[in-house]
Copies of this chain bind each other. A is one copy, B any other.
Amino acid sequence: MITGQNLIAGQWSAQGKETFSSINPRTKEQSEGWFVNATSEEVDLAVTRAAEAFKTTRLYSAERLAAFLDTVADEIEKLGAVLIETADAETGLGKPRLEGERGRTTGQMRLFGKLLREGSYVEAIIDTAQQDRKPAPRPSIRRMLVPLGPVGVFGAGNFPLAFSVAGGDTASAFAAGCPVIVKAHPGHPGTSELVARAIRAAVEQCDFPLGFFSMLQGSTTEVGQALVAHPLLEAVGFTGSLAGGRALFDAAAGRPRPIPVFAEMGSVNPVVITPNAVKARGEAIAEGLATAVTLGSGQFCTNPGLIFVFDDPESQSLIAQVGELMDRRRPGVLLNQATQDHLFKTVGETLEHPSVSKRTLVDDINAGGYCYPNTVLQTTSEAFIADESLQREHFGPVTLFVVCSSFDALCQAIDALKGNLTATVHAEADDLDMAGNLFSLLREKAGRLIWNGYPTGVEVVHAMQHGGPYPATTAPQTTSVGLTAVKRFMRPVAFQNIPDALLPDALKDANPLTIWRIVDDELTRKPIST
């Protein structure tokens, strides 16, 4: 059923000679089939056809795009059990988790459809003409968002559905009316092929141009670099490592015509736990942290990898509890060899620091697949403030407690933080002032602030902000989850004195889409009387 080919504007294609196979992380066995790296000619054809498709799709109505998103969701569901089985074999993430992820993926497509049908997402702003203004009449100026053009999407390894071929980047680019060329993650090429097949079916059913979607396989960085370098590409969405995201950002910024890279690159997701919270809910917090740190074998960009506590006996007991709970849990399988190698390397480096000690005991993982022991580390606020290498991400079931000598030391440690996706405070009602001060500091360091929760769940809702200051992302002013993600792939255009018949519907006097518009500084759904 899986052919190993690339999908280039509706055609399955395998021009290249370089191949790779997927590996089952539970058994380290190779899949039977081979996948063929896309050639530079295939990359060129995919982007060229995307640019051609854009000439049509950029003018599609929101309704037409919404119907397409719904059809993509339907087609992904129609793939049935084989999708979950393939994804499980390629990633080892487990069927329950992957079924949930599929629901998130299709739900996200349909949610963007709802946004489009409501229609106000184009941000229409209208300033009507003032014929009598002196010294010259004021023209009519009407502004709205229009789609940007072909988007390159790089699938993430840790979410083979929700942040991959039909993930949030693809969904939001489609919602904008932009063609997408996916560079599939080599960790789950079969899953990628299946999802590409579903999208291809939707393209055909909805009578979209075939160039609206392509999917490139690639086990080396060359395919992705060729995609980002292509002169007709307009933007890039990426979820993955700092090194990978930064390389694409640099390539895109260095182009003769630079293009934006919306790269979400990971985070250590600081959590602060006040003494009162430890006293009141220490056991529950220990349980919650152990669950969050080991969820999906810790392979979440929102994994709570850094936990600030104070230097008191209750907090020491909390650390010990988290260590025990994590020792007791059987470590999950990791995505691949690289993830395992990287964990050994990064945790090893952190442990070399004289201030760092380990609070878990189990070392012998004795697993058949890729694996790393659940690990709790501990250091001091003084060491943390002095050495920014202690902020390195350990991508896996690992967390580092920072024991703070004082509230001042905690504030200094927060001040020293680099950018993160999230920041959490566990506190009690009595701590409200302290928590307010902490959130005020943490706001400058993260895209999402959480009270008495765990950062791992990222709700797909209108208000979600999944982003944050560098190095969490290369684009802190945007989000990769939530409905405002669509705006990454749009740009404003103003229409000056354009006759009503030539205006897009969103800007016409009669407001035929009955969307919300800012008309002469007032938000309204009323038509403009002429």
Contact = CB atoms under 8 A, between A and B. Distances in A.
A78 interface: no
Contact of A126 (B258, B463, B516): B463
A114 B521 contact: yes
Interface stretch (A2-10, A33-41, A347-355, A488-496): A488-496
Contacts of A482: 143, 494
Interface in A77-115: 114
Given A250-B253, A258-B474, A139 B497 contact: no
Given A253-B253, A436-B502, A502-B436, A451 B125 contact: no
A461 interface: yes
Interface in A116-150: 118, 120, 123, 125-127, 136, 138-139, 141-143, 146, 148-149
A284 interface: no
Given A138-B459, A451-B499, A523-B523, A143 B258 contact: no
Nearest to A253: B253
Interface residues of A, number: 77
A310 B462 CA distance: 49
B497 A464 contact: no
Interface of A: 58-59, 114, 118, 120, 123, 125-127, 136, 138-139, 141-143, 146, 148-149, 249-250, 253-254, 257-258, 260, 418-419, 432, 435-436, 439-440, 443-444, 446-453, 457, 459, 461-465, 467, 469-471, 474, 476-479, 482, 484, 487, 490-499, 501-502, 516, 518, 521, 523
22 contacts: A118-B521, A125-B484, A138-B461, A139-B457, A141-B464, A143-B484, A148-B477, A253-B253, A257-B419, A260-B477, A432-B501, A435-B499, A436-B502, A443-B493, A446-B493, A449-B493, A451-B499, A462-B518, A464-B494, A476-B491, A477-B487, A478-B492
